Amino acid sequence: MSNEKYLKRRTFEQGLELVDAAHVATWRLYCDALRFWRDCSMRSCQHHRRCLGTTNACLQRGLMFVPPSRRQRARQEVIAGGPRGVPPTSHMEWQVRREALHTVLSWKSR
């Protein structure tokens, strides 16, 4: 038997891809929870009533107009899965959803 069949650890690059995907999914949930798609310039976001574009830029741009009380409600909504109740796809996404918003926004994806 080959030793490669028993390697269960992921590489650093695979782990980084997993973290990036978790952050992008969390950004999208925040955009959906805060309903940024209503004022989006992308027609597809308005048509589908959810964020389909560059989530981090949209979130950075619109967050300054959101009061702190609404941010806290959005955080609770993101932990619950957003407006559609989407379960986390991995344990990493589960963890990222529970991080503070400023920590989630500070992540730079590749």
Domain boundaries, given as residue ranges, for the chain: 13-105
Tokens 């806290």, residue? 72
pLDDT at 42: 76
CB proximity list for 63: less than 8 A, separation 6 or greater: 34, 71, 105
State the pLDDT at residue 10.
Answer: 84
Q: Is residue 57 a contact partner of residue 65, using CB atoms and an 8 Å limit?
A: no
pLDDT of amino acid 53: 73
Contacts for 68 with CB less than 8 Å, ≥ 6 apart? none
22: buried, middle or exposed (CB in 10 Å: 19+, 13-18, 0-12)? buried
Q: Is-contact 30 104, C-beta < 8 A? A: yes
Q: By CB neighbour count within 10 A (0-12 exposed, 13-18 middle, 19+ buried), where does 79 fall?
A: middle
What pLDDT is attached to residue 23?
A: 93
pLDDT tens, per residue, the chain with 110 residues: 555 666 678 888 998 999 999 999 999 999 889 988 778 777 877 778 777 777 778 888 888 899 999 999 999 999 999 888 999 999 999 999 999 998 988 888 76
